[in-house]
Amino acid sequence: MKTIYETTILGFGNHAAIEIPAKNLAELGGSKRAPLKVTLNGYTYQSTAAVMNGKVLVVFPTKDRLASGVASGDRITVTLELDAGYRNVDVPPELAAALKANNLTDVFSNLAYSKRKEFARQITEAKAEDTKQRRLEKIITELKN
């Protein structure tokens, strides 16, 4: 299922979101927590619909705003598509190696998308090598339990 509409990017301080009008939400099946592929300005990213202050929104992270060349207040045409099936996460090489070394690759693959994404983010955003190693150890311990 897919819907296309025009909207203005909403800004909330350093954060931004895209509102999903009721008509377009109905075209997607009506779920207020639907996993989505969001395409705007030729750029596509994955997100999940959420309710905030009575409105159904899709979070529009800074990295995706920069990649798409779109900012809060811009008027855009957005395409939302239900993101059915398995959602891939870019796994950092260090995490992939640790998972393989501990025979946890399948365990990791069976986690919810949001959990896999969060684990990957923790490793990717670690600046110091010792921080990265500490986080890797914590993830591996959590997956073993």
For 12-61, the pLDDT digits (tens) are 999 999 999 999 999 998 889 889 999 999 999 999 999 998 999 999 99
CA angle 7, 8, 10 (to 5 degrees): 125
Q: Identify the band that residue 1 occupies on the pLDDT scale cut at 50, 70 and 90.
A: confident
User: 102 and 72 share a domain?
Assistant: no
Q: Identify the band that residue 63 occupies on the pLDDT scale cut at 50, 70 and 90.
A: very high
Inside any domain, residue 116: yes
pLDDT digits (tens, 9 = 90+) for 103-112: 999 999 999 8
**What is the pLDDT averaged over residues 65-77?**
96
User: 115 and 70 share a domain?
Assistant: no
User: 17 and 62 share a domain?
Assistant: yes
- Average pLDDT value over all residues in the chain: 94
Q: Round to whole Å and give the CA distance between 101 and 43.
A: 35
Inside any domain, residue 87: no
Domain that holds residue 101: 93-144
pTM exceeding the 0.85 threshold for the entire prediction:
no
User: 20 and 64 share a domain?
Assistant: yes
User: 78 and 98 share a domain?
Assistant: no
Residue 19 has a pLDDT of 97
Domain finish residue from 82, 103, 127: 82
CB-side exposure of 3: number of CA atoms within 13 Å? 17
**What is the pLDDT averaged over residues 83-91?**
86
Inside any domain, residue 108: yes
Inside any domain, residue 88: no
Residue type at 48?
A: T
Q: How many domains does the chain have?
A: 2
Q: Identify the band that residue 83 occupies on the pLDDT scale cut at 50, 70 and 90.
A: confident
